[in-house]
């Protein structure tokens, strides 16, 4: 007799007020299998994973785990069965330390000191650098993802669910993670793997189920497919190729000279004297491993950190180093943070009201909000960027991660910025939406905007950038043209291995 499937779903259905997220879904995961779930943003992948993990209850259907029918009422019960999950949107308490966050999800027979030691051991084994005592609010997005992965691994799962686990990991960190996952599978663990990176699915996964509009649309063996055929199965077409034309930079827009800042918290990164220029009509990319000063640089540039001398950051000739975000927005600087919910958007506000975070077009001279104009603006962005949402009144938290990202990027581009700073522009976004966002950034560049992109995806930076820098240990490398850059060179620079005598901006 063959062993039963580790996980079996039949007839799973979940209806939300504005969308049918899951519709009669059947799925089987075999023991020791790395099973990919593929689908565009809003296809129902995350909802289905949350149902398996007990974070969402289905309206109908049956779940069987190791051959037994189960009703998974909550994540605690899921973990007791041996199911762990790493969420795309993190479930961490900002005011607690890394160790305290991990401790909350573990057997309370362990002391905090024991959990702290286990975190160090796992982090060392898997190459996921973490400081257990560090407060979560001081972490970058990439570091938060490491916390989620370590927390899941400490539960010694029989089924590990990973929702976009590599979205903010470097290629080297991805290779280490894949080695860990293959080791887990060899020890009997099964993995449900969600990713929009088709090459990862082909390299790692042994089976794939494709979702479209909440239904299973097909299954395949990824190693027997191409990126084009997987894209066809997922969105019905291949994403359009990006048209990256060479550009002639214009007027200097952002001029950072000898910017040096001490870290503002014990776990932050000092910014060593760095120089950075971005001109009209060019995209400058910054690569680097998460936690090497990108967060501190972005805070200094956006105005969230106003400790810099005024003239160390100049925007269109004006010193703004000590000015707040509203002052910089008035001069034409707009900013897309890496953290969508909480910083890019207020989860409990509608898409229309979220426009007011960075836009004042709909506020009259008397101070009253023109709600009709606000609704129209929001609906225009929804339509232009093909955001799947229940209209301008839909709450930000009701959107899938990729659709919310499209809306936030669209909101800032629609403001006609003179300088747009974008962090992790396509984090957790499907191939179609990713191509759309990147095309929009290139179009913005071609219209004369200066664009600065901070990303941990090298492929993205090579597609978008005219020039590139690397951040390592709070220092910024010289700039290098995209034509002269290679993955190997940028990878070596991520360790700070560039010639100090050439640390100037070209």
Let me know: does 201 contact 191? Beta carbons within 8 Å.
Answer: no
* One domain, residues 212 and 292: no
φ/ψ of residue 10, rounded to 5: -140, 125
3-class state of residue 83 by DSSP: strand
Domain boundary among 209, 235, 261: 235
**pLDDT (tens digit per residue) in 111-157:** 999 999 999 998 887 777 789 999 998 887 778 888 888 888 888 89
In a domain, 1, yes or no: no
> What is the C-alpha to C-alpha distance for residues 68 and 66, in angstroms, rounded to an integer?
6
Residues 143 and 169 placed together within one structural domain of the fold: yes
Residue 108 has pLDDT above 90, yes or no: no
Q: Are 283 and 468 in contact (CB under 8 A)?
A: no
Query: Which of the listed residues 382, 415, 448 is the one where a domain comes to its end?
Result: 415
Distance CA 266, CA 155 (A): 29
Quick check: 192 and 37 in contact, CB under 8 A? yes
Domain count for the chain = 3
In a domain, 152, yes or no: yes
Residue 138: inside a domain: yes
Q: Based on the fold, state whether residues 404 and 492 are members of the same structural domain.
A: no
Long-range (24+ apart) CB contacts under 8 A made by 223-226 are 226/202
Residue 153 and residue 184 in one domain: yes
DSSP 320: -
> What is the Cα–Cα distance from 390 to 355, expressed in whole angstroms?
16
Q: Give yes or no: residues 111 and 36 share one domain.
A: yes
Q: Is residue 128 part of a domain?
A: yes
Cβ count within 10 A of residue 289: 21
- Give SS3 for 360: coil
Judge if 281 and 134 occupy the same domain: no
Model confidence, pTM: 0.72
**Same structural domain, 44 and 118:** yes
The answer to whether 437 and 387 are in contact (CB under 8 A) is no
Consecutive H or E run containing 187: none
Q: Are residues 20 and 141 in the same domain?
A: yes
Average pLDDT over residues 43-69: 94
219 with 81, same domain: the answer is yes
Provide the domain limits for residue 61.
7-235
Question: What does the buried/exposed string (b/e) look like for 77-108 if buried means 16 or more CB atoms within 10 Å of the residue's CB?
Answer: ebbebbbbbbbbbbebeeeebbbbbbbebeee
**Long-range contacts of residues 23-26, Cβ cutoff 8 Å, at least 24 apart:** 23/213, 23/214, 23/215, 24/61, 24/215, 25/61, 25/211, 25/214, 25/215, 25/216, 26/216
Last residue of a domain, one of 369, 384, 415: 415
2 within a domain of the structure (yes/no): no
- Mean pLDDT for the stretch of residues 68-91: 89
Other beta carbons within 10 Å of 367: 6
Cα–Cα distance, 96 to 105 (Å, whole number): 13
503 in any annotated domain: yes
The answer on pLDDT for 47 being more than 80 is yes
- 230-255 tens-digit pLDDT: 888 887 766 667 777 888 899 999 99
Looking at residue 239, its pLDDT comes to: 66
Same domain, 423 and 286: yes
153, part of any domain: yes
CATH code, domain with 131: 3.40.50.300
Q: Is 54 in the same domain as 145?
A: yes
pLDDT at 503: 43
Inside any domain, residue 442 = yes
Torsion angle defined by CA atoms of residues 136, 141, 145 and 150, in that order, rounded to the nearest 10 degrees: -40
Query: Averaged over 463-480, what is the pLDDT?
Result: 95
Query: Which residues does 81 contact at the CB level (< 8 Å), separation at least 6?
Result: 65, 70, 72, 158
- In this prediction, residue 435 has a pLDDT band, given cuts at 50, 70 and 90, of confident
pLDDT per residue over 357-409, tens digit each? 998 888 888 889 999 999 999 999 999 988 988 899 999 998 888 889 999 99
Q: Residue 201's pLDDT band (boundaries 50, 70, 90)?
A: very high
Q: In this structure, are 384 and 277 located in the same domain? A: no
């Amino acid at each position: 007799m063959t062993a039963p499937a580790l996980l079996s779903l039949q007839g799973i259905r979940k209806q939300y007020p504005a969308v049918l997220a899951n519709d009669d879904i059947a799925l089987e995961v075999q023991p020791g299998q790395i099973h990919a779930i593929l689908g565009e943003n809003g296809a129902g992948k995350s909802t289905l994973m949350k149902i398996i993990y007990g974070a969402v209850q289905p309206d109908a259907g049956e779940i069987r785990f190791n051959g037994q029918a189960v009703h998974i009422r909550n994540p605690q019960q899921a973990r007791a069965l041996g199911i762990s999950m790493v969420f795309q949107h993190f479930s961490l308490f900002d005011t607690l330390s890394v160790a305290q966050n991990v401790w909350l999800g573990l057997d309370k027979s362990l002391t905090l000191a024991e959990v702290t030691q286990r975190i160090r051991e796992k982090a060392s084994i898997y190459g996921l650098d973490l400081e257990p005592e560090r407060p979560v609010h001081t972490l970058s997005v990439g570091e938060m993802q490491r916390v989620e992965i370590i927390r899941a691994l400490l539960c010694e799962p029989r089924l590990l669910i990973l929702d976009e686990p590599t979205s903010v990991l470097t290629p080297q960190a991805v290779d280490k993670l894949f080695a860990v996952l293959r080791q887990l599978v060899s020890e009997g663990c099964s993995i449900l793997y969600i990713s929009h990176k088709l090459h990862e699915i082909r390299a790692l996964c042994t089976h794939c189920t494709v979702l479209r509009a909440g239904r299973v649309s097909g299954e395949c063996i990824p190693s027997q497919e191409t990126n084009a055929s997987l894209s066809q199965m997922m969105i019905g077409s291949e994403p359009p190729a990006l048209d990256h034309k060479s550009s002639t930079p214009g007027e200097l827009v952002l001029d950072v000279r000898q910017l040096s800042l001490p870290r503002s918290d014990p776990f932050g990164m000092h910014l060593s004297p760095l120089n950075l220029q971005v001109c009209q009509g060019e995209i400058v990319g910054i690569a680097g491993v998460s936690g090497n000063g990108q967060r501190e640089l972005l805070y200094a540039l956006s105005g969230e950190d106003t400790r810099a001398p005024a003239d160390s950051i100049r925007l269109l000739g004006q010193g703004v180093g000590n000015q707040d975000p509203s002052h910089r927005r008035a001069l034409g600087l707009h900013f897309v943070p890496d953290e969508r919910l909480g910083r890019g958007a207020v989860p409990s506000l509608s898409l229309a009201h979220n426009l007011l975070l960075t836009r004042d077009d709909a506020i009259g001279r008397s101070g009253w909000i023109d709600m009709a104009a606000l609704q129209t603006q929001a609906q225009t962005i929804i339509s232009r960027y093909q955001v799947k949402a229940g209209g301008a009144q839909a709450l930000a938290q009701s959107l899938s991660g990729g659709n919310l990202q499209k809306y936030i990027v669209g909101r800032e581009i629609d403001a006609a910025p003179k300088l747009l700073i974008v962090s992790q522009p396509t984090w957790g976004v499907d191939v179609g939406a990713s191509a759309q966002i990147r095309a929009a950034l290139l179009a913005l560049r071609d219209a004369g905007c200066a664009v600065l992109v901070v990303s941990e995806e090298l492929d993205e930076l090579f597609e978008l950038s005219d020039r590139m820098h690397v951040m390592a240990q709070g220092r910024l490398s010289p700039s290098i043209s995209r034509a002269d850059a290679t993955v190997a060179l940028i990878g070596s620079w991520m360790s700070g291995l560039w010639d100090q005598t050439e640390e100037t901006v070209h």
